[in-house]
Chains A and B, each alone.
Chain A
Amino acid sequence: MSALARLYVKSHDLRVLRVMNLLLNAELLHFDPQTLILNGT
């Protein structure tokens, strides 16, 4: 995500934003807002 964010900041390319959003939403499936823990297992 950090590399994609760097790429988007430089490119302002919708292709990159699209992939970032897809990956972020996948991460949010495993994020507990109560504990702020992202379960990466």
Chain B
Amino acid sequence: MAGDRRGMGLRCERHSGRGEAPEPRPALPSWTTPDGVAVMVADDDVCLAPEAVVEGLPAAAAPDQPMVKDLTALMDQLLDVVAKKTTGSDPTYFENGQWHFSKDLIACQGGPAFMAAELWHWRQAHPQAMDDAARARQPWLRQLAIDTFEHLLRDHQAPGGEITNPGSHAWFVMSDFANTYLLLKDSLDEPTRARWLDGMKKEAEWFKQHGDIPNPDLTGWLATTWKASDGWYINGNVNVYQAETLYAISLATGEPKYKHLFELEWRHTLSPSQKRWPGFGLFLLKMPTKRDGSDGVGFITEKGEGDPASMSTTRPCS
């Protein structure tokens, strides 16, 4: 969940960000919300560590087998509903690489395709869980995913990398694309792997050149677009998608520059420039005492309604 700015007031107060005792620390912006006062994450918070923190992770929980069985059955049923045209007037179906919904948004094309890839991948890894019907569906599941993203690259990606007319944020389908690649890569032929990797790299480059994500090659502000070298701030959920997609691309390509872009985007999402993006970022309603955050409460700001440009005139602290 990301916090919504509607109904909240940005106040100019000083918070130490740690405990009750005042400390000589820079002032932190805060929101007054129906759940209490939320203070922006401090720069030395664990979640802003400069690289991955792997110490202190909880042990992985054993899968809940009945739930896994229910979930895989549900995924099967959902894919039948959205992929198969049950009547002549059924508006929801899959054909020639295109998912048809009541509104055909390119940004949403990846959801069912990624679900098909997940189900295929899980069953490949758990052949004992497949009955004859599930085994017979495996080629269909895999092909749904492949056809979707082949169609995306062929018909909706411009030569420069841009996803044209996504209908919503292109990051949603790019996340599904990169994650599907990670699931299917060992089953894809070399030309397909190369084509998919090229597509995701061109897309990331396009977003970087247009100031949507951090561009470490630039410094300062781009006066013509008001987009900064640390990237645009859309909304908490979209910025998290950007970070997650860049991480997936780093795994897919193995290229360190995408891991670096992820690190920049992660920091930008949680702690953007408060001069340019006042009130955005991670805000804590309750500071956790545990490193995994399990006894704390927080949100990542969303814009809600309104023009983001007008927000730049609101200064959280002077």
Contact surface of A with B, Cβ cutoff 8 Å: 1, 3-4, 6-7, 10-27, 29, 40
Contact = CB atoms under 8 A, between A and B. Distances in A.
B247 A26 contact: no
10 contacts: A6-B179, A6-B248, A15-B266, A18-B47, A18-B292, A19-B300, A22-B288, A25-B294, A25-B296, A26-B1
Interface of B: 1-3, 35, 46-49, 52-58, 175, 179, 182, 237, 240-241, 243-244, 247-248, 251, 266, 270, 282, 284-286, 288, 291-300
A20 B51 CA distance: 17
Dominant secondary structure at the A interface? helix
A37 B127 CA distance: 36
A13 B243 CA distance: 13
Nearest to A23: B1
A3 B175 contact: yes
Contacts, number: 99
A22 B294 CA distance: 7
Nearest to B1: A27
Contact of A20 (B55, B182, B293): B293
Most chain A CB atoms below 10 A, which of B179, B237, B296: B296
A15 B263 CA distance: 11
Given A11-B52, A23-B300, A18 B1 contact: no
Contacts of B244: 3-4, 6-7
A37 to B, nearest CB: 14
B270 A19 contact: yes
B90 to A, nearest CB: 27
A41 B248 CA distance: 32
